[in-house]
Amino acid sequence: MPSEGRPRDRILIVEDDRDIAELVATYLAREGLGAAIAGSAEEAILDCAELLPELLILDLGLPGADGLELLRYFRGRSTAPVIIVSARESDEDKVAGLGLGADDFVSKPFSPKVLSARVKAQLRRSGYARETLPRESDGGGNRLAFGHYVLDFDGRLLEREGERVPLSRREFELLAYLALNEGKTYAPVELYREVWGLEHGDLSTVAVHVQRVRRKIEDPGSPPRWLVTVPGAGYRFLRGGSP
């Protein structure tokens, strides 16, 4: 629940180790960020309804419902950034968390100072993505058409022949950034900086999100047409399709 005497709670820390949770909250308070603490997924669900957090710090190993279950629930109701902080370091856990819409993954043990910096970066990115995202107009407002698809920047959505294609906030930002810089190749580290707003972290996050976007815009069983891999260099978007 919200803590008295702190700035408005913008962040919800879901962590069953109270000492770790309070340490993180202390570091965030030093940055002027209020944080509430939930010790279980069940408690977090109640807090989410009351607080409407602007960012979630989530441990995966929770008593009762698993952290991934909570992430799935949260993503169905909010596009706010989620940072997973967990002792689970397997690729499967990272891919699962990122696949469900987490924005960052921090392994335990971690530096509270570094975590605070990542929190601030995510909050900046989520607050200013609309303003910093490059735009172009095709004559129909802030929209970009390719094939059967239309990217609507004002609505922050993707449509295929009038039907909305479900994209997470980060998936939309990744596709939009590449689409509006058509033909330019970006290394994963560049995309991590430009789209995630982070200088350092797990670059596999980029590859996971590229694959998720491809599953939604590319033809199954065929080589990527729009979102192309440049071996040894990174990724680029080709509005006219791959040659």
- Helix H segments across 32-111? 41-51, 67-75, 91-99
Which pLDDT tens digit goes with each residue over 69-124? 999 888 877 878 899 998 876 778 778 888 888 888 888 888 999 899 889 888 87
- Does the residue 19 lie in any domain? yes
Which pLDDT tens digit goes with each residue over 119-144? 988 887 766 444 444 444 444 457 88
Domain end (from 109, 128, 147)? 128
Which pLDDT tens digit goes with each residue over 168-214? 888 888 998 898 888 999 999 999 888 887 766 778 889 989 999 99
Domain end (from 128, 146, 167)? 128
Q: Please indicate, yes or no, whether residues 111 and 140 belong to a single structural domain of this protein.
A: no
Question: pTM of the prediction?
Answer: 0.60
Q: Please indicate, yes or no, whether residues 27 and 105 belong to a single structural domain of this protein.
A: yes
Instruction: Name the DSSP letter for residue 135.
Output: -
Q: Please indicate, yes or no, whether residues 64 and 170 belong to a single structural domain of this protein.
A: no
Mean pLDDT for the chain overall: 83
Angle of the 169-179 helix axis to the 204-217 helix axis, nearest 10: 80
Q: Please indicate, yes or no, whether residues 41 and 148 belong to a single structural domain of this protein.
A: no
